[in-house]
Amino acid sequence: MKFWTVSIASLFAAGFLQVHDQVRAQGKWQPTAISHNQVQPFPERPATTISEKAALAFKPQLKVASGCVPYPVVNDKGEVSDGLRNSGKAAGSCRGSGYGSQVYSRSTWMADKWAIMYMWYFPKNAPESGRGHRHGFEHVVVFVNNPGTEEPQIIGCSTSKDHRYAPCPAHALTGKHLKVMYAKATESTHAVNITSEEGVFQDMITWEQMPDVARRALNEAINFYLEVPINDQFFMAKVSEASPF
């Protein structure tokens, strides 16, 4: 088991370095990375569209049981978080910057259901020192019958678990706000799960509300993040994979 863990991690790192070198050689634009403690979140805006109203109405609560609290990953200048090394304590240097946290949202129709992704960013995903990795993105996908109705209802949801998804239990589909827990899943990773415990809300920004430079940063920051679930490259595929139907 340890042999395969090391081998896969080595291949993962090698692939990242290869992409990094290719991007640098091609001179492709990349956003500027700044300290994770310096990235300021976007303020939550009043909802004006049907999509925004649904995203706010179903915004989940998050309880952090282990590791970092969520941080903003990009600011209004398109600067992105440099994250933290996978060393020290699981929550070392990442219990909040003073600027506040952030949750990101993006929505789309998936067949005849309205899908809303909520994504959090963590500067490191390292339950134990030397395990895990710099940067961590976790998300849930909530499926709603129709956001345009007077009382839209949750009809399904899934939580991300290390490139896989777990359908939500039936009791999670009652009410408006999922209760989500971020906790240690293995020696090398954290994950989000449904919980009955109360969490806290973060200021939400939708994909469309962000300025162009912020969206571009998340679309093109392959020097820093191998996979941003909410960006143009991964969003639709992730929503499709998350479908519990």
> 5-26, pLDDT tens digit by residue?
333 333 333 343 343 444 443 4
Q: What is the token pair recorded at 165?
A: 């998804």
Give tens-digit pLDDT for 28-53.
Answer: 789 999 999 999 999 999 999 999 99
Amino acid 213 reads V
Mean pLDDT of 121-130: 86
Among the residue ranges 40-54, 58-72, 78-92, the one predicted with the least confidence is 78-92
One-letter-per-residue 3-state SS of 60-109? CEEEECCCCCCECCECCCCCEECCCCCCCCCCCCCCCCCCCCCEEEEEEE
Beta bridge partners of 13: none
Confidence label for 27 from pLDDT (cuts 50, 70 and 90): low
108 and 23, same structural domain? no
130 and 120, same structural domain? yes
Residues 160 and 38: their CA atoms lie apart, in Å, by 27
201 and 161, same structural domain? yes
What pTM, to 2 d.p., does this model score?
Answer: 0.87
71 and 133, same structural domain? yes
Mean pLDDT of 177-204: 93
86 and 20, same structural domain? no
Q: Does 138 score more than 60 pLDDT?
A: yes
203 and 179, same structural domain? yes
Q: How far is CA 32 from CA 60, 125, 135, 208, in A?
A: 30, 21, 16, 21
Among the residue ranges 113-117, 189-193, 224-228, 236-240, the one predicted with the least confidence is 224-228
Dihedral over Cα of 44, 47, 52, 54: its sign: positive
> What pLDDT is stored for residue 17 in this prediction?
38
Q: Which domain holds residue 192?
A: 31-242
Mean pLDDT of 107-112: 96
145 and 63, same structural domain? yes
Mean pLDDT of 173-195: 91
Average pLDDT, the chain: 88
Structural domains of the chain, count: 2
Q: Does 2 score more than 50 pLDDT?
A: no
Q: In this structure, are residues 147 and 113 in contact, taking their beta carbons and an 8 Å threshold?
A: no
Amino acid 202 reads Q
DSSP state of 173: G
> What pLDDT is stored for residue 222 in this prediction?
77
144 and 99, same structural domain? yes
